[in-house]
Chains A and B, each alone.
Chain A
Amino acid sequence: MIVRRIQALGRSGLAFVQDAGHTSLFLFNSLVGRPDFIHGTERLIKQLYFVGVLSLLIITLSGLFIGMVLALQGYTTLVKFGAEQALGQLIALSLVRELGPVVGALLFAGRAGSALTAEIGLMKSSEQLSSMEMMGVDPLKRVIAPRFWAGQIAMPVLSLIFTAVAILGGYMVGVEWLGVDSGAFWANMQAAVDFDTDVVNGIIKSIVFGTVVTWIAVYQGIECEPTAEGIGRATTRTVVYSSLATLGLDFFLTAVMFGDT
């Protein structure tokens, strides 16, 4: 009885290690298997279009509204203490450090990650990937690598755009509508936000999230069951896993980056 328990534990441990090794090898292969530059850049640009440009609308719109809501809520709280001058600081710090990378990554997982998984899954179920292998084309290089790099590049850019638009949204509500002094808004923000610690760490965060989300998306796509149901499940898994990974990693990154301030 106990032996069987131990055996089950060992089996799941082995499966976990095997899975981890498999995904790492997969990531390694798609990174090292970078395509040739002439055709590669063309494919990369096409993927950047799908992953980045088409996510722009949802990113800017959500950024605008999140910034506006942040300004509205922050104002109602701060005005009680007569500290509405600190609104710029509140908006900028929370956006640059946390909301920009995290909400950006969540939206990115929902908009681009799920599409990546579904696309690759459909390629697999319609046996395009295996026919590529038959023709001697490495699907990791041809299909996965450009998508991976595109996600990697697009995520920090999207997160930067998100943060900038959200701060402008916060400015619109806080200064134009609620009447916080414009000079105090920007001056407090500039005094509080430090480029090296805040902006750079935010970018590092978004690069990490971009890697994780795209990694999960393409891996789920290529490992999915090649049926309609399997693709659906893989897409769901992509969104769930990458959201959880983003939020979990964010805690650790925040603890490491800003834990002592």
Chain B
Amino acid sequence: MIKMRTVEITVGLFLIAGILSLLMLSLQVSGLSHFLREEPGYKIKADFANIGGLKIRGRVTLAGVVIGRVSHIELEPQSFNATVTLTINPKVTYLPLDTRASIQTAGLLGDNYISLTPGFDQHAFLKEGDVIPAENTDSAIVLENLVSQFLAGQASKEPPSSGAAAPPSPVKREKGN
């Protein structure tokens, strides 16, 4: 029979191993350290006509460098635009007021993210609560729309004399529009 002392020590080690595993799972695996605290930074809003597959916590990049996260997405009832709230790193205080925001896709099938392109305003900078209007944003490029537009374009370009290709074109155009 093993001594009670040894038993207690091993059980203690066992529980410590469990706690360490939980720590590893929370910090290293789920990256809780990033989400535990409210991400510091100032919030600006951007209106988009279509956000595609953009999700909360998506990246906000400038020249490819991550400078913030998407923190909130809602529908704006008057204009039917999507209003996206971006939390920008507090160190980046020099975004011109006419900065352009566009939703892009990482790779062919990757996640959507927001890419900012700085404008030319030298004096006014974006600060907490500012809004990037819909004229200054580019919506998400939805791949299916592109493909169907391309198909419709192809169909209309074909010469009508070739009888075999002409009949399907109305069908394709229907998809495009």
Chains A and B belong together in one complex: yes
Binding site for B on A (CB under 8 A): 42, 45-46, 48-49, 52-53, 56, 92, 96, 154, 156-158, 160-161, 163-165, 167, 186, 189-191, 193-195, 198-199, 203
Q: Give the chain A neighbours of B26 by CB distance below 8 A.
A: 195, 199
Q: How far is the CB of A120 from chain B (nearest CB, A)?
A: 19
The CB with the most chain B CB atoms within 10 A, among A96, A189, A190, is that of A190
Nearest neighbor of B10 in chain A, beta-carbon distance: A53
Q: Which of B28-36, B117-125, B126-134, B168-176 contacts A (4 or more CB under 8 A)?
A: B28-36
Q: How far is the CB of B142 from chain A (nearest CB, A)?
A: 21
Complex partner residue of B14 from A46, A157, A186, A191, CB under 8 angstroms: A157
Nearest neighbor of A186 in chain B, beta-carbon distance: B28
B7 at the interface (CB under 8 A from A): yes
The CB with the most chain A CB atoms within 10 A, among B4, B21, B57, is that of B21
Q: Which bracket fits the contact residues of B?
A: 20 to 34
Task: Classify the secondary structure of A's interface with B.
Answer: helix
| Pair B25/A163 contact, Cβ less than 8 Å | yes
Interface contacts beyond A48-B11, A161-B21, A165-B21: sample of 12 additional A-B pairs, CB < 8 Å, sorted by A: A96-B25, A96-B29, A96-B30, A157-B18, A158-B18, A161-B18, A163-B21, A164-B24, A186-B28, A189-B29, A199-B29, A199-B30
Q: How far is the CB of B111 from chain A (nearest CB, A)?
A: 9
Q: Give the chain B neighbours of A163 by CB distance below 8 A.
A: 21, 25
Nearest neighbor of A47 in chain B, beta-carbon distance: B11
| Pair A199/B7 contact, Cβ less than 8 Å | no
Q: Give the chain B neighbours of A198 by CB distance below 8 A.
A: 30
Q: Give the chain A neighbours of B30 by CB distance below 8 A.
A: 96, 190, 193-195, 198-199
Q: Measured between alpha carbons, how far is A238 from B56 in the docked complex, in Å?
A: 46
Q: How far is the CB of A52 from chain B (nearest CB, A)?
A: 5
Q: How far is the CB of A91 from chain B (nearest CB, A)?
A: 9
Nearest neighbor of B2 in chain A, beta-carbon distance: A49
B166 at the interface (CB under 8 A from A): no
Q: Give the chain B neighbours of A164 by CB distance below 8 A.
A: 20-21, 24-25
Q: Measured between alpha carbons, how far is A56 from B21 in the docked complex, in Å?
A: 13
Cβ contacts A to B, 28 pairs, < 8 Å: A42-B4, A45-B11, A46-B4, A46-B7, A48-B14, A49-B2, A49-B10, A52-B11, A53-B10, A53-B11, A96-B29, A96-B30, A154-B14, A156-B18, A157-B15, A157-B17, A157-B21, A158-B18, A160-B21, A160-B22, A163-B21, A167-B29, A189-B31, A190-B28, A191-B57, A193-B29, A195-B32, A195-B35
